[in-house]
Amino acid sequence: MQIDVQRTEYDSGKLERADLKASPFEQFAGWFEQACQSKVIEPNAMSLATAGADGRPSVRTVLLKSYDRRGFVFFTNFESRKARQLKENPNASLLFPWLALQRQVIISGRVERVSTAESLAYFITRPRGSQIGAWISQQSSTITSRKLLEMKWGEIQRKFSEGEVPLPSWWGGYRVVPRDIEFWQGRVNRLHDRFLYTAKEDGSWIIDRLAP
């Protein structure tokens, strides 16, 4: 298959300045709802790009678990590669690739840990299997085999066979507090509509149209 001849014409929609909400969070809420209604696979899946003190970037897919005017929240192991990089460089970028709608949302900003109370409030809503999974995986570390994970799974299952699974001290949430949010709508002839919200010190937002 020749990659260079692959073509998709983006003709499913448009985005005008008059369509935009004053707040990027309201704009995101509308697009997110449309992604859910359109049955986009994992609409809350987002690429998370980070870089440590060495400047070497890495990217992976995580799941958005909540958002409000404070920012966008995901959860992970505090000993993972992403967490180590965020400790060295608390800045990140998120990308929501809603390709079925020919749309993207790109968010950049500083990152902060959420409170333990907020992490616990989410943790207790997770399926029990996911709670146990947070206990057994030393995320991003090298392991010798899958069998080791399965042995640990059995061990933790037995340990917490009665009662609730507690929140691990090494697991919790991060909030990406946006400095800017871009809304991208594909258009014909690659003349895409792009609008960038940039935060001002007073809490308001500047909106600029970007060249495609």
The catalytic residue positions are 190
CB 206 within 8 A of CB 197: yes
Q: DSSP label at 17?
A: G
Quick one: which of 89, 58, 63, 88 has its CA closest to 76? 63
What's the CA dihedral at 82, 24, 33, 100 to 10 degrees? -70
Q: At what angle do helices 146-159 and 128-136 cross, to 10 degrees?
A: 120
| Lookup result for tokens 């929501």 | 96
Kind of pairing between the strands at 171-185 and 205-210: unpaired
Both tokens of residue 202? 């007073």
Please give the helix or strand (H or E) that residue 93 lies within, else none.
strand 91-98
209 in helix, strand or coil? strand
For residue 47, give the nearest of 85, 104, 117 by alpha carbon.
104
